[in-house]
Amino acid sequence: MKKAGIIGATGYAGVELVRLLLSHPDVEIGAISSVSFEGKSISEIYPNLLDILDTALLTEQEVIDRCDIIFAAVPHGLSQELARKCKTGGKLFIDLGADFRLYEEADYKQWYKGEYVYPELHREAVYALPELYEEKIASAKVIGNPGCYPTTVALGLAPMLKKKAIDPDTIIIDSKSGVTGAGRGLTQNTHYPDCNEAFSPYKIAEHRHTPEIEQTLSDLYGEKVTVTFVPHLLPVNRGIESTIYAKLVENFSIEEILESYKAFYKDKKFVRILPRGQIANIKNVRCSNYCDISLHLDARTRRLIVVSCIDNMVKGAAGQAIQNMNIAMGFAQDAGLCLIPPAF
Amino acid sequence: MKKAGIIGATGYAGVELVRLLLSHPDVEIGAISSVSFEGKSISEIYPNLLDILDTALLTEQEVIDRCDIIFAAVPHGLSQELARKCKTGGKLFIDLGADFRLYEEADYKQWYKGEYVYPELHREAVYALPELYEEKIASAKVIGNPGCYPTTVALGLAPMLKKKAIDPDTIIIDSKSGVTGAGRGLTQNTHYPDCNEAFSPYKIAEHRHTPEIEQTLSDLYGEKVTVTFVPHLLPVNRGIESTIYAKLVENFSIEEILESYKAFYKDKKFVRILPRGQIANIKNVRCSNYCDISLHLDARTRRLIVVSCIDNMVKGAAGQAIQNMNIAMGFAQDAGLCLIPPAF
Amino acid sequence: MKKAGIIGATGYAGVELVRLLLSHPDVEIGAISSVSFEGKSISEIYPNLLDILDTALLTEQEVIDRCDIIFAAVPHGLSQELARKCKTGGKLFIDLGADFRLYEEADYKQWYKGEYVYPELHREAVYALPELYEEKIASAKVIGNPGCYPTTVALGLAPMLKKKAIDPDTIIIDSKSGVTGAGRGLTQNTHYPDCNEAFSPYKIAEHRHTPEIEQTLSDLYGEKVTVTFVPHLLPVNRGIESTIYAKLVENFSIEEILESYKAFYKDKKFVRILPRGQIANIKNVRCSNYCDISLHLDARTRRLIVVSCIDNMVKGAAGQAIQNMNIAMGFAQDAGLCLIPPAF
Amino acid sequence: MKKAGIIGATGYAGVELVRLLLSHPDVEIGAISSVSFEGKSISEIYPNLLDILDTALLTEQEVIDRCDIIFAAVPHGLSQELARKCKTGGKLFIDLGADFRLYEEADYKQWYKGEYVYPELHREAVYALPELYEEKIASAKVIGNPGCYPTTVALGLAPMLKKKAIDPDTIIIDSKSGVTGAGRGLTQNTHYPDCNEAFSPYKIAEHRHTPEIEQTLSDLYGEKVTVTFVPHLLPVNRGIESTIYAKLVENFSIEEILESYKAFYKDKKFVRILPRGQIANIKNVRCSNYCDISLHLDARTRRLIVVSCIDNMVKGAAGQAIQNMNIAMGFAQDAGLCLIPPAF
A57-84: pLDDT as tens digits: 999 999 999 999 999 999 999 999 999 9
pLDDT given for residue A316 in this prediction: 98
pLDDT given for residue B86 in this prediction: 98
Cβ-Cβ contacts under 8 Å between A and B: the total is 147
Residue from B67, B148, B287, B291 carrying the catalytic annotation:
B148
Where does the pLDDT of residue C28 fall: very low under 50, low under 70, confident under 90, or very high at 90 and above? very high
Q: Chain D: give the shortest CA distance to residue C98, in Å.
A: 22
* B192:D196 CB<8 A: yes
Distance, in Å, from the CA atom of B201 to the CA atom of A298, rounded to the nearest integer, reads 14
Would you call D237 an interface residue with chain B, using a CB distance cutoff of 8 Å? yes
Q: Count CB atoms within 10 A of the CB of residue C55.
A: 15
pLDDT in tens, chain B (344 residues): 999 999 999 999 999 999 999 999 999 999 999 999 999 999 999 999 999 999 999 999 999 999 999 999 999 999 999 999 999 999 999 999 999 999 999 999 999 999 999 999 999 999 999 999 999 999 999 999 999 999 999 999 999 999 999 999 999 999 999 999 999 999 999 999 999 999 999 999 999 999 999 999 999 999 999 999 999 999 999 999 999 999 999 999 999 999 999 999 999 999 999 999 999 999 999 999 999 999 999 999 999 999 999 999 999 999 999 999 999 999 999 999 999 999 99
User: Which residue, among A184, A192, A197, A283, would best test binding to C if mutated, counting the most C CBs under 10 Å from its CB?
Assistant: A192
Nearest to D151 by CA among D122, D184, D127: D127
Nearest to A36 by CA among A5, A78, A74, A65: A74
B205-235: b (≥16 Cβ within 10 Å) or e: bebbbbbbbbbbbbbbbeeebebbbbbbbbb
Q: Tell me the average pLDDT across D133-154.
A: 98
Distance, in Å, from the CA atom of B5 to the CA atom of B68, rounded to the nearest integer, reads 8
Computed from CA positions of residues A248, A252, A255, A260, in that sequence, does the dihedral angle turn out positive or negative?
negative
Three-state DSSP class for residue B116: coil
Residue from A67, A86, A148, A195 carrying the catalytic annotation:
A148
* D180:B193 CB<8 A: yes
Distance, in Å, from the CA atom of C305 to the CA atom of C308, rounded to the nearest integer, reads 10
The overall average pLDDT reported for chain C is 98
Q: Which among D47, D284, D340 has the least Cβ separation from residue A47?
A: D284
ipTM of the complex: 0.97
Three-state DSSP class for residue D295: strand
Domains along the sequence of chain A with CATH: 2-146+315-329 (3.40.50.720), 149-312 (3.30.360.10)
Q: Which among A184, A191, A237 has the least Cβ separation from residue C190?
A: A191
User: Which residue, among C192, C194, C196, would best test binding to A if mutated, counting the most A CBs under 10 Å from its CB?
Assistant: C192
pLDDT tens per residue, range C253-292: 999 999 999 999 999 999 999 999 999 999 999 999 999 9
Q: Chain A: give the shortest CA distance to residue C170, in Å.
A: 33
Would you call C283 an interface residue with chain B, using a CB distance cutoff of 8 Å? yes
Distance, in Å, from the CA atom of C128 to the CA atom of C144, rounded to the nearest integer, reads 6
Where does the pLDDT of residue C104 fall: very low under 50, low under 70, confident under 90, or very high at 90 and above? very high
The overall average pLDDT reported for chain A is 98
- B148-162 and B130-138 helices, crossing angle to 10°: 100
* D297:C205 CB<8 A: yes
Where does the pLDDT of residue D28 fall: very low under 50, low under 70, confident under 90, or very high at 90 and above? very high
pTM exceeding 0.90:
yes
Set of chain D residues whose Cβ sits within 8 Å of the Cβ of B187:
186
pLDDT given for residue D19 in this prediction: 98
Where does the pLDDT of residue A319 fall: very low under 50, low under 70, confident under 90, or very high at 90 and above? very high
Would you call C232 an interface residue with chain A, using a CB distance cutoff of 8 Å? no
| Chains touching A (3+ CB pairs < 8 Å) | B, C, D
* 3-state helix, strand and coil shares in percent for chain A, rounded to the nearest 5: 40, 20, 40
Three-state DSSP class for residue D17: helix
Distance, in Å, from the CA atom of A24 to the CA atom of A31, rounded to the nearest integer, reads 15
pLDDT given for residue B46 in this prediction: 98
* D179:B187 CB<8 A: no
Q: HSE, CB side, 13 Å, CA atoms: give it for residue C259.
A: 5
pLDDT given for residue A84 in this prediction: 98
Burial (CB < 10 A; 0-12, 13-18, 19+), residue B135, is: exposed
pLDDT given for residue D26 in this prediction: 98
User: Which residue, among D177, D228, D241, would best test binding to C if mutated, counting the most C CBs under 10 Å from its CB?
Assistant: D228
Q: Which among A180, A188, A193 has the least Cβ separation from residue C193?
A: A180
Nearest to A279 by CA among B179, D42, B198, D191: B198
Distance, in Å, from the CA atom of D333 to the CA atom of C332, rounded to the nearest integer, reads 67
Q: Which among B200, B303, B307 has the least Cβ separation from residue A281?
A: B200
pLDDT tens per residue, range C219-240: 999 999 999 999 999 999 999 9
Computed from CA positions of residues A210, A213, A215, A221, in that sequence, does the dihedral angle turn out positive or negative?
negative
* A199:B301 CB<8 A: no
Would you call D85 an interface residue with chain C, using a CB distance cutoff of 8 Å? no
| Chains touching B (3+ CB pairs < 8 Å) | A, C, D
Computed from CA positions of residues C102, C107, C112, C118, in that sequence, does the dihedral angle turn out positive or negative?
positive
Would you call A228 an interface residue with chain B, using a CB distance cutoff of 8 Å? yes
